Amino acid sequence: MDGEVVAPGDVVGTAEEYLPGENVEVDSEGKLRAQVMGIVIRDNKEHIISIKPIKNNGLLKMNDIVYGKVVALPNDRVIIVKIISVDNNGNKVSLKDDVTGIIPPAQLFNGKANSAGELVGIGDIIRARVISRGPPYTLTLRDAQLGVVYARCPRCGHVLRWRSGELLQCPNCGAVVRRKVSLIEYWG
């Protein structure tokens, strides 16, 4: 019976035999019923029965690495991001729907940042990590590998190049801009 495909409402056992695990509920008669389309997993040691869903829902999970565009910096303290894609073993998978991410002041930087505008600019693309169940998702930039991966010159609009450390430079007008740059990737 292990590995059997079930549909919502299918009886997969009784409350006397097993404890309900993920995607399993007990009905009023003590029957264990599947809640999703999936595959039955029986843990006979712990006596837990659960269903492994056949389909993953499109929602992001804790610790997912995501890429998103900075769309607003309310009060210069919070960063609002439109999440565009999620990292899946090195591949960037585009999201179907608009997903909002929020980076609160405490998640901007390991040190003390006076303002969000010192770390990112509107229109920048950032690499961030999901630290809540959402949506809207709370994101963090508090890691050297997280931060800006793409930015344009605030003066002339050219794509900024990475110069060193936290500095980006415009190849057109020469402006030097400070950002919290991701240390593992920069697309410019």
Which residues of this chain interact with other proteins, rule CB under 8 A? 5-11, 23, 25, 27, 33, 35-38, 53-59, 96-100, 134-136
* Shortest separation between residue 98's beta carbon and other proteins, angstroms: 6
CA distance 43 to 47: 5
- Grouping H, G, I as helix, E, B as strand and the rest as coil, residue 6 is strand
* Shortest separation between residue 187's beta carbon and other proteins, angstroms: 26
Residue closer to other proteins (CB basis): 56 or 164 = 56
* Shortest separation between residue 29's beta carbon and other proteins, angstroms: 9
DSSP letter for 82, please: E
Pairing between strand 161-164 and 91-103?
unpaired
* Shortest separation between residue 67's beta carbon and other proteins, angstroms: 17
CA distance 60 to 131: 10
CA distance 102 to 118: 17
Residue closer to other proteins (CB basis): 60 or 119 = 60
Residue closer to other proteins (CB basis): 65 or 99 = 99
- Grouping H, G, I as helix, E, B as strand and the rest as coil, residue 154 is coil
Residue closer to other proteins (CB basis): 103 or 181 = 103
